[in-house]
Structure 1
Amino acid sequence: MHLPRLALAALSVFSLASTAVTAATTGSAESAHGQVPFLSPEQLAQAQGQAEKHAYQSDIARLMRVVVSHLYNDRDVFVRELLSNANDALEKVRLVSLTDSSIMAPAPSLNVSVIADAEGGRIVIRDTGIGMTKEQLEENLGTIARSGTSEFLETIESKNAEGANLIGQFGLGFYSSFLVADRVTVASKPASSSEQWVFESEANADGFQIVRDPRGPTLGRGTEITLYLKDDAKEEYLDVEKLRSLIQKHAEYNSAPIYLWTATTTTVAPGAETALVEKEEKEGDELEIEDDKEEAAESEAVPEAPHWELVNDRQPLWMRDPKQVTEEEYIDFYQKTFKSTDGPLAWSHFKGDAGSTAFRALIYIPSGVPNEFYSKDYVQLESLKLFVKRVFITNDLGANYLERHLDWIKVFIDVDDLPLNVGRDSLQKTRALAQIKRNLTKRIYDLFGQLAREDPEKFDELYTAAGTALKVGAIDDVKNRDRIVKLLRFESSAVNGTTDLDGVVSRRKQGQTQIYYIAGAGAKKAELAQSPFVERILARGYEVLYLTEPVDEMLINTVPTYGGLRFQDVAKDGVTFGDEDADEKAEDEHLTKQFQPLVSYLKQALAQFVDKITVSHRLTTSPCVVTAGTYGYSGNMERLLAAQNAGQGSDNFMLEFAKMQKKNFEINPRHPLIERLLEKVEEAGDDEDAQEELNESVAVLWQTALLKSQYQVPDPNAYFSMIESMLRRSLGVSQSAQADVDVKPAPPVETGPPPSEPPPPPAFDLEAELAAQGDEAGAAEAAGKKDSWVDWKEVRHTLKDGIVDTVKAAIPDYDTDEPTEGAYIHQEL
């Protein structure tokens, strides 16, 4: 076989390069990454005399044990957390560089590099980020009081499955290093300092040490983390293919480039080699070597020179064409960016203009609102992320950047240009951000509308979680009120479930000019459907909306009309159907004249409470009802004001004003009680007993109507006394007859000390309770099962004692003074 000198030289170069890289990865990797040599254990050992030793806080040791025990099955998370920290450090540099370019001088390139040193059993992750001073190393890595450690520990121990996500959420990602490493060093140098310091700690150590880097200021600017891997982690995580896949999985959306030191092989096919030989032979410069046809017939793996491979070479998701982004990628980006374990209901990806600058944005609708969202103290700082030229700027543009009712929506913005040398308040008021806010708000409502049209089931899920927020938005956001009202849903007599207002308008009757509704905060649809206010409306086949939320009535007062129809509270004056005729008018006049004696009597008897008494045309089965004037307060609103007053613990002017307003009283002329009451008025004359009985009947009728109309009676005790009086008269019991009760007096005052412990509550006997209720079959079943009941408290103590005995037997040094893992396990038990 003949191999040209040029090809032979190329193979020699590959061989030499491979040898050089082997040397680099075992101690002289300065050629691999900006002339930065590895920090060897020997160098650290020589500097021990100058090291400053610090003790960890009490929570640190517990934290390390909990991280290892709870996240062991998800050890890959360390790659995500360390790369995320590196990316944050780079973003800080980029942010500072926008106003101070000198910070870039020590290391102009912004990147992250990862080296798997197989011979040294370590992984080295370097970034050219902001770097840390000696004091910052101690504060950020050795002192974690400010990072929510206790809350994290409590949360992770109660929600084991979510630990991998929680560790980053609580700012404790660095400690995931100890999932795979038994020793970690962190060398760091900020641009503003000439000194480079090293933090060192072991997984089971009680403290850490900080020492001046014996290599000198080799980093220029940035941080280098070295993980000395545990034996059971070396084979898995020193595999370059494994590292590449983890980086691609966890750092795809990092804005900084991430490089992996790698050496791959290229397979050379026989045809390719022959073509090369023939080409060189034609040049007449050939070197004769031994021919081996059998080897030439087989493909050969030729090693490439080790090199830096850009792993996250894809464009950030928000910079790509939405048509080229998959659903899985959108969901993954949402979960990583906003630290959520749930997927979003919907999203919108778009670009727009804001005056003289352009921006790109992603809007996500979460699957629900935070539990504390409706609290007045709610502040959500993770709902919005602002980038400028792919540099993270802030997640806090103030509480009112997005409208309060939209603050649960997740928004990602990347703006081409913004002034950054101003404070947050000034930044929020810039013309560009104001225009972006308007654009975002419009897009959010468009997304809601799209979801309602294209996926009603998902919109119902959204509305169940956030419907109240939208109603608040319709009240507060005047500019977008029409958009929001179209999205609102209400329970209705005409449909199962809920309806939008467009549906109500489409189902209106001929001549109908009103949308009828009844409000009852906290009531169910079935309860409101039994109200006397809706009797005739439902009987005639008209649709009624049931407003069951406290905010509903305030909302309707803010939005008086929709689709050409006016909202009408059926508990107030003014209900019309639009099809009234002369015959109905004549009948009303006749009934009014017929019942005039009763109306006159009621006006006199209820003058203190009633402004107007009329013969009703809204009732069918109820004898009477109490209504409010057109501008008065309904019973539902009065109850809401009373609840608000109770919560404030102070006088409520609006409530007192509402109580002072006189009501309207409507009577049903076709109801037997009203007909009989008319007869009683006509028969009573000057008979004092008859007048007294009549007055009592009217008072009971009036106050019962108050209750049925959702109002409160002025004096509940007086009302119940009147009910009792009527029952006595009905049953023939004397009004003066009293209960014959022998009351045993209490013993003298106790002069001794109080008991040290309260007596135990009486034992609950299910068998006796069921027997007392007449459930003989249930009592018999309970008696049959009594022998099988278990004292679970005793069982728990037995199990615990058994586990502790097992731990003691398995750990020889359990009873020594030195703290051990066994003692920790016992403590946790």
Structure 2
Amino acid sequence: MRGEETRGFQSEVKQLLHLMVHSLYSNKEIFLRELVSNAADAADKLRFCALSKPELFEGNSDLYVRIAINKEKRTLTLTDNGIGMYRNEVIENLGTIAKSGTKAFLKSMSGEQLKNNHLIGQFGVGFYSAFIVAYKVTLLTRAAGAKINEGVYWESTGEGEYTLADIEKINRGTEITLYFREGEDDFLDEWYVRKVISKYSDHIALPIEIETKDEKNNLFKWEKINKATALWKRNKAEINDTEYKEFYKYITHDSSDPITWSHNHVEGTQEYTSLLYIPSKAPFDAWNRDSKQGLKLYVQRVFIMDNVEQFMPNYLRFVRGLVDSNDLPLNVSREILQDSRITQNLRTSLTKRSLQMLEKLAKDDQEKYDQFWKEFGLILKEGPATDQANQQILAKLLRFSTTYSADTKQSVSLDDYLHRMQKDQDKIYYITADSFAAAKSSPHLEFFRKKNIEVLLCFDRIDEWMMNYLINFHGKTFQSVSKEDESLNKLTDEKTIEQKETEKAFGPFIERLKNLLNNRVKEVRLTNRLTDTPAILTTDSNEMSTQMAKLFTAAGQNVPEVKYIFEINPQHLLIKRVTEIEDEKLFSEWIELLFDQALLAERGTLEDPNQFIHRMNGLLIKSLVK
């Protein structure tokens, strides 16, 4: 061997290898699925590259994965004749694990989380699962098209270092040999290995062969042990649920079963096959809109590229699966794909198919849909603002907490809300706040509780943005209860003689407030929407809401000052007492206190909380002295 050197893994790699061996994987046989999947990926990559460079096949386009067991040496060798690797690629791929996010991943895990094997497939560490059963792993590889003397030797015990050297390798591709630990004899049993391959990799469109011995003639031969057919090309009636689930795990490296899936073959102006899955768990980077997430693309069973974002809108980035289209050109590039009319049509169709899949899940299995909403509801809420064409379908899929229940669980659909609407109610009412508690206890809801009118409680950060784009649902428009609106006035009682007299009696008081608050408010007026609160702040229908102002401020945007309407409850005892105060200074203190209370209820914060506390304590002392 030439150019031999010993290199150290990155420090976080050492930690992760230790965790993998001792904590993360509960099912040891997964390592075989991972290695076979990697070999299949290498074959797919070679097929794709050979479309423009057929010489990469080196005269042999028959691709395979081969497994040989040596019981005496206690080894298993897995060989493929795929794309292979150059020396620099070996260093990059086998000397680093999960280049971005590994440290954060390790720091975030503790206790029971270390036993959770749902995460491991999300960090690109499939190759290293070999160290769960092996005390040493060697790898020989040569890139397709490289010279024979450009082969690479790699070896490691998975502790802290690996050895690297240049070798001669006649055949392209990669050969991995695992030296098993004591107690791992199952993987030296040919029939056990066959069973594992059948369980996890039967669907791979690549022959997987195992070395068998003809005892009679004392000869060794290769025997194919998988069906080697693309699962998505088979008839749906011939595929059982277990096969669908195992295929999902193969293409996603997720050890959890999917919640649901949809397998369809479409013919007509466009011909394509799609197999779409909804995961049961959100990946760690699900809320990162810039993360590489998308479907796999095949053209006539030839793998083209991974994570094709153009096939799905961003709010459906959690959907996994693949598309196999006969209409896309085989030399399709990423740039051509972005501008393709065919791609745009596929995107429309696949989006519709995904939403139909969610509609069916919501209708047929409420428990599973609740699980989906818990994991991906926040992402789906991005949809109404970005996909006007499917807004009504998306609105139907949304789930809310409401005043109908004391539970924080978001389980009420808009259909549920419509069924419970009052006869004289013509709008869907909602409130946005920073938390469920803030929304549930808002003074804006007092009137609605009195009238037994249900209100949607929106407390996720994205809700204010989403609700600004939701125009209507089944002919009913949406209305924030913290904004002025004529429909709210219609719901209040008709003005009685007593109310008219109250307005007249409070006229001087309202004028006194206007003079005191001046341009700090847009308007001061009486309201009969309150029962337990002396005063609230509302915004004009054309004014930016408080929550929207918070969103812009958090994003670093300049926000114009929100001009509130100060609404006074004339029936409240505190208001009645304040109207009797003649001392202007004392009157001013009480009004400032009431105004700050209303601001605190509306915004959740005050610019000067200490001044508020000081004023309140001063008024309390005066009351106690009296």
Q: TM-score, normalised by structure 2?
A: 0.84
> Among 154, 163, 166, which residue is 1:207 paired with?
163
Structure 1 residues 581, 141: closer, same or farther in 2, change over 3 A? closer
> Among 339, 351, 356, which residue is 1:429 paired with?
339
Q: Which residue of 2 aligns with 1:140?
A: 90
Aligned pairs (5 A) from 1:10-409: 51-59=1-9, 70=22, 76=29, 79-104=32-57, 106-116=59-69, 125-131=78-84, 136-137=86-87, 139-140=89-90, 144-148=94-98, 166=120, 170=124, 173=127, 176=130, 179=133, 184=138, 186=140, 188=142, 190-191=144-145, 193=147, 197=151, 199=153, 207-212=163-168, 217=170, 219=171, 222-223=172-173, 225=175, 227=177, 239-262=189-212, 308-313=222-227, 315-353=229-267, 355-356=269-270, 358-375=271-288, 378-381=290-293, 383-398=294-309, 401-409=311-319
Aligned counterparts of 1:192 and 1:691: Cα–Cα separation in 2? 92
> Among 727, 739, 754, which residue is 2:620 paired with?
727
Aligned pairs (5 A) from 1:638-787: 638-642=549-553, 644=554, 648=556, 652-654=557-559, 657-659=560-562, 661=563, 663-680=564-581, 684=582, 690-710=583-603, 713=606, 715-732=608-625
Structure having greater relative contact order (Cα 8 Å, sep ≥ 6) = 2
Aligned counterparts of 2:413 and 2:480: Cα–Cα separation in 1? 18
Shift, 1:386, TM fit: 1.6
Shift, 1:201, TM fit: 5.1
Structure 1 residues 223, 558: closer, same or farther in 2, change over 3 A? closer
Structure 1 residues 505, 587: closer, same or farther in 2, change over 3 A? farther
**1:502-524, Cα deviation, whole Å (9 max, x unpaired):** 12222222222122222222242
2:48/2:302 contact within 8 Å kept: yes
1:149/1:170 contact within 8 Å kept: no
Q: Count how many residue pairs are aligned between Structure 1 and Structure 2.
A: 614
Aligned pairs (5 A) from 1:423-822: 423-495=333-405, 497=407, 498-524=411-437, 527-574=438-485, 576=487, 584=495, 586-642=497-553, 644=554, 648=556, 652-654=557-559, 657-659=560-562, 661=563, 663-680=564-581, 684=582, 690-710=583-603, 713=606, 715-732=608-625
Aligned counterparts of 2:135 and 2:515: Cα–Cα separation in 1? 90
Shift, 1:612, TM fit: 2.5
Letter paired with 2:571: R
> Among 413, 420, 425, which residue is 2:323 paired with?
413
Aligned counterparts of 2:509 and 2:338: Cα–Cα separation in 1? 67
**1:650-693, Cα deviation, whole Å (9 max, x unpaired):** xx432xx234x2x222222323333344444xxx4xxxxx3333
Shift, 1:317, TM fit: 2.0
Aligned counterparts of 2:592 and 2:72: Cα–Cα separation in 1? 97
1:178/1:203 contact within 8 Å kept: no
Shift, 1:485, TM fit: 0.9
**Aligned CA-pair RMSD:** 4.1
Q: Which residue of 2 aligns with 1:762?
A: none
Gap runs ≥5 in structure 1: 1-50, 266-301, 685-689, 734-829
2:355/2:393 contact within 8 Å kept: yes
SS at match of 1:176: helix
Which moved further from structure 2: 116-125 or 95-104?
Answer: 116-125
Letter paired with 2:433: G
Shift, 1:318, TM fit: 1.5
Structure 1 residues 263, 664: closer, same or farther in 2, change over 3 A? same
Shift, 1:379, TM fit: 0.8
Aligned counterparts of 2:594 and 2:584: Cα–Cα separation in 1? 15
Q: Who wins on radius of gyration, i.e. which is larger? A: 1
SS at match of 2:537: strand
Letter paired with 1:352: V
Structure 1 residues 604, 236: closer, same or farther in 2, change over 3 A? closer
SS at match of 2:363: helix
2:200/2:246 contact within 8 Å kept: no
2:259/2:279 contact within 8 Å kept: yes
Shift, 1:235, TM fit: 7.2
Shift, 1:459, TM fit: 1.2
**1:396-429, Cα deviation, whole Å (9 max, x unpaired):** 335x652222212212222234224353122232
SS at match of 1:627: strand
SS at match of 1:56: strand
Q: TM-score, normalised by structure 1?
A: 0.65
Letter paired with 2:536: V
SS at match of 1:723: helix
**1:626-651, Cα deviation, whole Å (9 max, x unpaired):** 22212224444444445x16xx3xxx
Aligned counterparts of 2:361 and 2:34: Cα–Cα separation in 1? 35
SS at match of 2:423: coil
Aligned counterparts of 2:116 and 2:64: Cα–Cα separation in 1? 30
Shift, 1:69, TM fit: 5.8
Aligned counterparts of 1:225 and 1:641: Cα–Cα separation in 2? 55
SS at match of 2:457: strand
Aligned counterparts of 1:63 and 1:487: Cα–Cα separation in 2? 42
Letter paired with 2:363: R
Shift, 1:91, TM fit: 1.6
Aligned counterparts of 2:154 and 2:536: Cα–Cα separation in 1? 80
Aligned counterparts of 1:574 and 1:165: Cα–Cα separation in 2? 49
Shift, 1:76, TM fit: 4.7
More strand, by proportion: 2
Aligned counterparts of 1:536 and 1:563: Cα–Cα separation in 2? 25
Shift, 1:166, TM fit: 4.2
Aligned counterparts of 1:64 and 1:379: Cα–Cα separation in 2? 22
SS at match of 1:244: helix
Q: Which residue of 2 aligns with 1:283?
A: none
Aligned counterparts of 1:562 and 1:231: Cα–Cα separation in 2? 62
Aligned counterparts of 1:163 and 1:512: Cα–Cα separation in 2? 50
Structure 1 residues 186, 174: closer, same or farther in 2, change over 3 A? farther
1:177/1:184 contact within 8 Å kept: no
Aligned counterparts of 1:340 and 1:466: Cα–Cα separation in 2? 16
SS at match of 2:323: strand
2:56/2:144 contact within 8 Å kept: no
SS at match of 2:561: helix
Structure 1 residues 181, 247: closer, same or farther in 2, change over 3 A? farther
Letter paired with 1:504: Y
1:181/1:227 contact within 8 Å kept: no
SS at match of 1:347: strand
Aligned counterparts of 1:417 and 1:365: Cα–Cα separation in 2? 26
